[in-house]
Amino acid sequence: MTKVHGTLFDDGRDGFLIIKPSQPFFGCGKHEKSYSIIDGTVNIELTPTPPGIYYLVGFKQEGDFTRTNFTLRWRIPSVEAIDVTPNRPKNNQDSAISETVETQVQIKRLATQLSESLKKVEELEKDLLLSNQRYDELNSTFDEYKITSTKSLASKDSQLKQLSAFVEPEIKTVIKEVPVPDKPLHQRIKFLEQQLVKLEEQNSIYYKDVVELHQLKLDRAQSLPSSGPPSKPEDNPRQRLLNKLLNR
């Protein structure tokens, strides 16, 4: 609790100070409370107000039951005592209290800013680490690509050199006339003539056998009774075979 004291009215009036919070907070309800004012001075205790909350303050004379008009707003710091006398000169104690409160507010603000700055620094460090990793990966990929390209170019240069050094051999056609000896040639001709004679003999034997076969068939046909018209001499199987052989 903070002790609130001071002279509110220079005329020394008596009455009641009506106080209620702008909104309820822990340790203070929402209802109005009245405190006595004697000879224009007040000496009470109030719960320090959290940030953003203040006390609405109004004055009523004894026997006044009308609606309260709140004309003051008090923010009570968490200190031992505070003097609420209007337009009073500040003493060393009040200056110390005010400086302490301002210092605490500044420290809290600086702590908040420092915390936010540390979070941003941490995020930037993470981003920097990821960027460095990505940079290393890209460098490694580039080095591999460079090595592969160098090998490929070297291989192509080697192949081009080999192709440029390769000369198609000249093809020459040489015609040689080799005389054949007379003796082997005559022997070959004689052998072929002998084979031709044998072939003609075999052919004659074949034709002779065929003629005999047809003659046998003709003789057999003539020995059998015939009901058809007599055939002409030239229209018999033998004659037809002979005609066929002669036509060849």
pLDDT single digits (tens) 170-203? 777 888 776 766 777 788 888 888 888 888 888 8
Asked whether residue 201 is domain-assigned, the answer is: no
Q: Crossing angle of helices 237-247/182-223, nearest 10°? A: 160
Asked whether residue 117 is domain-assigned, the answer is: no
**Alpha-carbon distances of 152 from 142, 155, 159, rounded to whole Å:** 15, 5, 11
pTM: 0.36
- Of 8, 18, 12, 75, the C-alpha closest to 48 is 75
What total of structural domains would you count in the chain? 1
DSSP character for 20? E
pLDDT value at 101 more than 70: no
The total of other beta-carbon atoms located within 10 Å of residue 76's CB is 19
Instruction: Please state, in angstroms and rounded to a whole number, the distance separating the CA atoms of residues 83 and 93.
Output: 10
Q: Which domain holds residue 60?
A: 2-88
What angle (nearest 5°) sits at the alpha carbon of residue 51, between those of residues 48 and 57? Answer: 55
Residue 139's pLDDT is: 85
Instruction: Please state, in angstroms and rounded to a whole number, the distance separating the CA atoms of residues 244 and 210.
Output: 12
48-88: pLDDT as tens digits = 999 889 999 999 888 888 888 888 898 989 898 988 888 76
CATH of the domain at 74: 2.60.40
